[in-house]
Amino acid sequence: MQQHPHTSGRRTRRLAALTAAVAAVVGLTTLGGPGAQAAGNPYERGPAPTESSIEALRGPYAVSDLSVSSLAVTGFGGGTIYYPTSTADGTFGAIAISPGFTAYQSSIAWLGPRLASQGFVVFTIDTNTTLDQPASRGDQLLAALDYLTQRSAVRGRIDSSRLGVMGHSMGGGGTLEAAKDRPSLQAAIPLTPWNLDKTWPEVRTPTLLFGADGDTVAPVSSHAEPLYTGLPSSLDRAYIELNGATHFTPNSSNTTIAKYSVSWLKRFIDNDTRYEQFLCPLPRPSLTVEESRGNCPHTS
């Protein structure tokens, strides 16, 4: 910038300094990549979301992974940790994810990089045996979170006060068991859950359940829907029933599951209200959503 020859001295220098300061602040808050962070929320990670960013196959963070042998842990069956490669943005919230009855971590593996690339450390686990029941799967999810935050090689990358759980089928039933046992969990997401216990008044963790309209293994009328109803009505809770879906829809890449899961995890693990727009109002019935229920998350 060229200066007018007749304006000079202190005032011009002060103006220049002010302009530089404003530019620096604007740069910090709008420049980007994953690095952008709000002054008001220390847990916020990544740039402002859009419909296409929550639907994308990958979010803004490059992801690394780490295999954990069952021989190296106790209380669960090992697994794979997916985590943002860069440490430039500080720590991240973390989630553990359990597969269902007779299934392995491979059945929920797509969620690892999909969620981690949005800014979470994600632990997809194997259970001690593939026949373990929901209460055991809940205990194993908690053992996995304890390993992740206390002993794993990525423990220094995790904010251990900001944890969540997910799971498919009996792993979804286990997700509710984990939340009941550990009220400090910040988010829970059961996927086509299966649990004989339909009463969950103790749960204090914001919970998003996915049902599938064509589920004949864990029909929504006897599992996902009564499990949703069994949560406290005062809880931040939601139910999304997938349209044209089966019990096994959560076992492969699914954009409806991903976009609302990312939004729920961001909203409740990161306290990131920028994602509230995708949860509230609830998704309307469509080609992908059969029905939805919930009490829209309260702002602030």
Residue 270 buriedness (CB in 10 A; 0-12 / 13-18 / 19+): buried
222 given a catalytic annotation: no
Query: Can residue 126 be called a binding residue for Zn ion (CB under 5 A)?
Result: no
Tokens found for residue 86? 């860069």
209 is a contact residue toward ligand 9J3 (CB under 6 A): no
Task: Note whether 97 binds ligand 9J3 by CB under 6 A.
Answer: no
Catalytic residue at 298?
no
Among 159, 177, 241, 270, binds Zn ion (CB under 5 A): 241
210 is a site residue for ligand 9J3 (CB under 6 A): no
Q: Which of 224, 187, 183 is nearest to 207 (CA)?
A: 187
| Residue 170 engages ligand 9J3 in binding (rule: CB under 6 A) | yes
In the list Zn ion, ligand 9J3, none, the entry touching 241 (Cβ below 5 to 8 angstroms by class) is Zn ion
In the complex, what is the shortest distance from the CB of residue 222 to Zn ion, in angstroms, rounded to a whole number? 12
159 as an active site residue: the answer is: no
Tell which one of 38, 66, 217, 280 touches ligand 9J3 (CB under 6 A).
217
d(CA 194, CA 118) in angstroms, rounded, equals: 28
Q: Which of 49, 100, 112, 211 binds ligand 9J3 (CB under 6 A)?
A: 100
Q: What's the per-residue H, E or C state across 17-78?
A: HHHHHHHHHHHHHHCCHHHCCCCCCCCCCCCCCCHHHHHCCCCCCCEEEEEECHHHCCCCCC
CB-side neighbour CA atoms (13 Å) of 177: 26
The yes or no reply on residue 194 touching ligand 9J3 (CB under 6 A) is: yes
Q: CA separation (Å) from 30 to 23, 45, 111?
A: 10, 13, 29
Least distance to ligand 9J3 from the beta carbon of 274, Å? 34
Q: Which of residues 279-298 bind Zn ion (CB under 5 A)?
A: 291
Q: Which residues 6+ apart lie within 8 Å of 230 measured at CB?
A: 197, 198, 199, 200, 201
Partner that binds at residue 91, options Zn ion, ligand 9J3, none, CB closer than 5 to 8 Å by kind: none
Tell me the window of 15-23, 76-84, 233-241, 260-268 that interacts with Zn ion (CB under 5 A): 233-241
Catalytic residue among 89, 126, 139, 215: 215
Interface with ligand 9J3 includes 101 (CB under 6 A)? Answer: yes
* Count of chain residues binding Zn ion (CB under 5 A): 2
Binding mask 128-157 for ligand 9J3 (x = CB under 6 A): ------------------------------
Q: How many residues of this chain bind ligand 9J3 (CB under 6 A)?
A: 7
Q: Of residues 98, 168, 247, 263, which has the active-site annotation?
A: 247
Q: Which does 101 bind (CB under 5 to 8 A by kind): Zn ion, ligand 9J3, none?
A: ligand 9J3
The residues binding Zn ion (CB under 5 A) are: 241, 291
Residues with catalytic function: 169, 215, 247
Binding site for ligand 9J3 (CB under 6 A): 100-101, 169-170, 194, 217-218
